[in-house]
Structure 1
Amino acid sequence: MARSKLLTTQQKWVKRGLYIIISVLLCSTVFAVTQLKNNSEIVSKSQNEAIWFVLQLTKEYSEFIFQLQNYQFGNSDHNDMMIQYEILWSRFNTIINNKQVMHFDQFKGAYNVVNEHFTNIKQLEPALLELPNTQNVQPLLDTFRDDYENLIIFLNHKFRLSSGDLGDRIHAISEIEKIIHYLLLTMLLIGVLTAFLILRESHTHHKLAMNDSLTGIRNRLWLNHKLKDLEQLNYPFNFYLIDLDGFKTINDTLGHHAGDELLIELGRRLSELDCDSYYAARMGGDEFAIIELRSPSGKPLPGNNLGLKLIEVLRRPARIGGKNLIISASIGVSHFPGRAKTISEVFRQADFAMYEVKQKGKDGLNHYQPNEATCSGEEEVIS
């Protein structure tokens, strides 16, 4: 019993440990998915920042060409045009050297192309500064226009939504979000499935622990739990202790295999009795037990006649190893809470009543009587 309690306690701790592990894994998965989603949003935002800087660059470049053209026609002075050039210069410098523009270099070739255009406009700066003296505006204007148009063509191709790197990255981000949702759903399903498997395994282990491995009916451990529950509820029942007659002889003459077949057959018979509200269990060896529930008033349930049916099924010959074996059993019956007030008394009184049957020739059923301890009780033998 102590060993069974130890194993039960260990199994409970193992199950609790598994539940904790599953919970931690699920929480970790949710956290990882959240981080992945946040990272994808950061990538998306950083790319939006890159696009914003590119748009500002093209805007300022267009404004500079407009100012240079106004200077050519005398609609603005040299200082206004150079101020716009400085603004354009700072836009290029921000994209090339400022770390705020994240992931710009991940657009294939974008960094190098923008840097080349930046180099071009820096090389033209001395000519811009000499314009008040040279007034040679048209060649410079044509050069800047050509550079601007080439830059626009490249940026439109690189950053437009329909194709190019930006379209691929937006599509990739969309795919990442789908993967995130799929991963989360998958992990939740895995968690549910794992919990189901653990519960199923736990139920299987519980069933194995509570059932006899040979006959398949309930075992002594289950019987003890059931009797304790009935005792706590003070629920009335009859307890039948069944001991086979001559089982050792069957084992010695026909072998243990034949004995096992007989025990399996008796377990099947006891589990298929035509009665209501009863439980059959194997105590161990060739001993079986039956709990017969009574009505709350303590009276037997009408129509059960369990004692008669037990004698009938136990006297029926059993076909074992190609032979018909004549079998019988000695049965002792105790009553709770009538004569037995505790479960230990239930076992003791049933065992005493069964012993009286053995003493009087076996093959019968005897209800425990209080005076049996001092004199021979009246045996109820059904033949």
Structure 2
Amino acid sequence: MIKNKRQIQAIHPALRQAKMLLLVMTAILIVANFYLLSSARQLAQSYSDQNNQATWFLFQLNKEFSELVSMSRFSDQGENYRQETILHYELTWSRFDLLLHNREADNFMRTPGAEPFFSTLFDRFQQLEYALLQKQTPKNSAELHRSLKEIYQAMVTYVNTNFRVQSPLYKIQMTQAQQLAYAQYVLMLLLFVCAGLVSYIMHKEACFNKQLAMTDTLTGIPNRLAMMRCIKEKIDYMHPFTICLLDLNGFKQINDRHGHHAGDRVLHIIAQRVKRRFSVYRIGGDEFCIVIDTCDDANINMAFEELMGCFSDTIHLGSGINVSLSTSVGFARYPEDSLDYNALIRHADKNMYQMKFTRKAKAST
């Protein structure tokens, strides 16, 4: 019991602190991604000179294409990522179209071999549209990412080989753009890692809270709520079973004579004894419930004998104090006695008190 309490006190704060830390990191990464996007846009806007318009188109194509390649890796992670990938595809498509058909890029495209190369590259790019619009699976997403990356690498290699711009400013800005793209890619990966860890911790925390809600903190066994879920689940699946309600005889006298601490120890010891043989639940005070997966008379009688054996030994409270307990038992069978949860509980409760009163009557005579 003490160990369970310490685990509850230790695990829950650790989960909460880890979750808060990851949420803060996720927020920071989101802000950093927005900052990089803003920086990339500001860098793109710096190309205002009319004579460098074609170079600006090429830079925009490189920027949008690099973001598309990064995003395509996660297109199978959900509809939001898929729509984001489609958006980047459309943006890259428009950059290709501007580079090939805008009059301000005519001088740039008159360079020998430029127009055939970019036209062929654009055709390869458009052929991937059908694959992008299909339902994404991990395999399809990986294939799409590989194909886009090949086209992108071909474009970068061609530009680096054939269009060496001598402007120092252009070289600096191009380097900055690549660094921003790489940094954004890394930050995006970190963002997804943090989001995954947050989801995992929240799942574990939900499982922990669910287990906590279903457990009696005093005895460490399942509580009334867990019993209700167990019985209703068996009823839903129409599995025959027997419930056995227990009420401890003599527990109040132990509480009054030796104190509540002794009473708590008695409840814990009894719960552990019964737990070794049955699926037992504490439903309140000194009342317990056992669920047995059978309605057979022979098995029920055998279970009753085993249950009585849990009360045959005395309980040691320390300081030379030993106490004994007995129990009153009430059975109810599904579906013989009732098909309803509440009716089964009432039936078992009635039988339990009938046994208790019968014992009292025999004791008085």
TM bucket normalised to smaller? 0.5 to 0.7
1:35 matched to 2:33? The reply is no
2 CA distance for matches of 1:303 and 1:285?
Answer: 25
1:280–1:337 CA distance, 2 compared to 1 (3 A): same
The aligned amino acid for 2:284 is G
For residue 229 of structure 1, report the CA deviation from its aligned partner. Answer: 2.1
1 CA distance for matches of 2:36 and 2:27?
Answer: 14
1:313 matched to 2:310? The reply is yes
For residue 342 of structure 1, report the CA deviation from its aligned partner. Answer: 2.1
2 CA distance for matches of 1:244 and 1:287?
Answer: 7
1:37–1:182 CA distance, 2 compared to 1 (3 A): farther
Alignment equivalent of 1:352, drawn from 333, 350, 353: 350
Does the CA-based 8 Å contact 1:29-1:184 persist in structure 2? no
Alignment equivalent of 2:205, drawn from 201, 207, 211: 201
1:239–1:38 CA distance, 2 compared to 1 (3 A): same
1:340–1:267 CA distance, 2 compared to 1 (3 A): same
Q: Which residue of 2 aligns with 1:210?
A: 214
1 CA distance for matches of 2:207 and 2:223?
Answer: 16
Does the CA-based 8 Å contact 1:44-1:170 persist in structure 2? no
Q: How many residues align?
A: 231
Higher relative contact order (CA 8 A, sep 6+): 2
Gaps of 5+ in 1: 1-20, 54-99, 101-158, 363-375
Alignment equivalent of 1:224, drawn from 222, 225, 228: 228
The aligned amino acid for 1:331 is V
Does the CA-based 8 Å contact 1:37-1:177 persist in structure 2? no
For residue 357 of structure 1, report the CA deviation from its aligned partner. Answer: 2.0
The aligned amino acid for 2:287 is E
Q: Which residue of 1 aligns with 2:152?
A: none
1:166–1:272 CA distance, 2 compared to 1 (3 A): same
Q: Which residue of 1 aligns with 2:12?
A: none
Q: Which residue of 2 aligns with 1:327?
A: 325
Question: Percent of aligned positions with the same letter in both sequences?
Answer: 26
Does the CA-based 8 Å contact 1:261-1:320 persist in structure 2? yes
The aligned amino acid for 1:289 is C
Q: SS of 1:320's equivalent?
A: strand
Larger radius of gyration: 1
For residue 167 of structure 1, report the CA deviation from its aligned partner. Answer: 5.1
* TM-score normalized by the length of structure 2: 0.53
2 CA distance for matches of 1:34 and 1:249?
Answer: 73
1:30–1:272 CA distance, 2 compared to 1 (3 A): farther
Does the CA-based 8 Å contact 1:33-1:184 persist in structure 2? no
Q: Could you say what the CA RMSD is over the residues aligned between the two structures, in angstroms?
A: 4.1
2 CA distance for matches of 1:190 and 1:331?
Answer: 53
What is the correspondence of 1:256-295 to structure 2 with a 5 Å cutoff?
256-273=260-277, 279-294=279-294
2 CA distance for matches of 1:361 and 1:303?
Answer: 21
Alignment equivalent of 1:255, drawn from 247, 254, 259: 259
CA offsets per residue over residues 117-143 of structure 1, 9 Å max, x none?
A: xxxxxxxxxxxxxxxxxxxxxxxxxxx
CA offsets per residue over residues 54-87 of structure 1, 9 Å max, x none?
A: xxxxxxxxxxxxxxxxxxxxxxxxxxxxxxxxxx
2 CA distance for matches of 1:304 and 1:321?
Answer: 34
For residue 231 of structure 1, report the CA deviation from its aligned partner. Answer: 2.2
What is the correspondence of 1:58-207 to structure 2 with a 5 Å cutoff?
168-207=172-211
2 CA distance for matches of 1:304 and 1:31?
Answer: 68
Gaps of 5+ in 2: 1-22, 56-103, 105-164
For residue 288 of structure 1, report the CA deviation from its aligned partner. Answer: 0.4
The aligned amino acid for 1:283 is I
For residue 314 of structure 1, report the CA deviation from its aligned partner. Answer: 2.2
For residue 221 of structure 1, report the CA deviation from its aligned partner. Answer: 1.4
Does the CA-based 8 Å contact 2:33-2:184 persist in structure 1? no
Does the CA-based 8 Å contact 2:331-2:352 persist in structure 1? yes
1:315–1:43 CA distance, 2 compared to 1 (3 A): farther
For residue 186 of structure 1, report the CA deviation from its aligned partner. Answer: 1.1
